[in-house]
Amino acid sequence: MEVTVDKSAGFCWGVVRAVEFAENELSVTPKMYSLGEIIHNSTEVERLKKAGLTTVTVEDFAKIERGSKVLIRAHGEPPSTYKAAFEYGIELIDATCPVVTKVQERIRKYTEKGFQVVIFGKKDHAEVIGLRGVTDDEAIVVLSVKEALETVNFTKPTVLFSQTTMDKETFSAIKTALEERIANLEVGSLEEEAIEFHAKNTICGQVSGRDKKLREFAKANDIMIFTAGKKSSNGKVLFNIAKEENEKTYFAETIDDLNPEWFLNVTKVGITGATSTPQWVMTQMKEYIERNFGL
């Protein structure tokens, strides 16, 4: 049996940066906090916990010592979090991904101009909570064309944004549906200027750029093991892409989720993951599969 780890999988640079922020601080501070899990990967959260990183919520600010360091993860936070940190004397280590910061800034500008802001994303996702916060929670968050048609006011000047980890196809469908009903619909973009022939959106290239490579990798293997945290948003998108190309794509958060039956009469096993899956987790899984199911 040949087991290969997908070279294009692993942390996106926004997450690598946040983990580096945490590791740098932990090298000089024995104890610090992360607002929400730094990464949607329980193994990596556990590793950093051992190094001194404790996960907290904004509600915990009242209980932790003044002057404590609290890391804002790559997803970013709403303005209310910065206000609460100031009130409780918390020192924020802001590891918001620069791509997310850019989207927050763009949304802020449109809000100031009085636009109705529509975000294609998941209401309870940390990044979306941050984006909505910029609009004082006025933004309309939709997951489908149907939801957009039911909730958006077509008579207002409107701008459409996307959570950075959503799929392009649904975004385009929502955009088309709104364009048909709203004159001069604006579309939020990561580029300063609209680039001709390039679709404008705020979907992160780290996610959308992986489609092609992942499809090729999925096709080249008999079975695929997709490893990611169950809460990872881009994990779900990427898992579905792999599954489209290879029906025998299985989800396993840890080695305990591996089913020996998957490996019967299989020659080529591919291991891949989400942008929040560390390379070392995939390497560990490869070694485990080779040891236990390789013969």
Q: Hey, which residues between 270 and 289 contact ligand SF4 (CB under 6 A)?
A: 275
- Rank residues 223 and 229 by Cβ distance to ligand SF4 and give the closer one: 229
Q: Are 208 and 232 in contact (CB under 8 A)?
A: no
**8 Å CB contact between 188 and 202:** yes
Side by side, the strands of the sheet bearing 223-227 are 2-5, 268-273, 223-227, 249-251
Q: Contact with ligand SF4 (CB under 6 A): which of 104, 163, 206, 208?
A: 206
Q: Where are the alpha helices (DSSP H) in the chain?
A: 13-26, 42-50, 79-87, 98-112, 126-134, 145-151, 168-179, 205-208, 210-219, 233-245, 279-293
Residue of 204, 223, 258, 274 that binds ligand SF4 (CB under 6 A): 204
Helix (H/G/I), strand (E/B), else coil: 104 = helix
Contact characters 61-80, ligand SF4, x per CB under 6 A: -------------x------
User: How far apart are CB 57 and ligand SF4 at their closest, in Å?
Assistant: 20
In sequence order, which residues have a C-beta less than 8 Å from that of residue 21 and are 6 or more positions away?
Answer: 71, 93, 95
Establish if 269 lies at the interface with ligand SF4 (CB under 6 A): no
Give residue number: closest CB to ligand SF4: 14
Candidate list 15, 35, 117, 224; residue touching ligand SF4; CB under 6 A: 15
The site string for ligand SF4 over 108-137 (x = CB under 6 A, - otherwise) reads ------------------------------
99 binds ligand SF4 (CB under 6 A): yes
Active site residue 287: no
Q: Please pick, from the candidates 34, 116, 163, 165, the single residue that binds ligand SF4 as defined by CB under 6 A.
A: 165
Taking CB under 6 A as the binding criterion, the range among 48-56, 97-105, 118-126, 256-264 that sits at the site for ligand SF4 is 97-105
| Least distance (Å) between residue 74 CB and ligand SF4 | 4
Q: For 90, which DSSP code?
A: P
Does residue 92 sit in helix, strand or coil? strand
How does DSSP assign 13-56, residue by residue? HHHHHHHHHHHHHHTT-S-EEEES-SSS-HHHHHHHHHTTEEEE
Q: Is 34 in the site for ligand SF4 (CB under 6 A)?
A: no
Nearest CA among 237, 213, 239, 216 for reference residue 226:
239
Q: Catalytic site residues?
A: 127
Residues that bind ligand SF4 (CB under 6 A): 12-15, 74, 97, 99-100, 164-165, 204, 206-207, 275
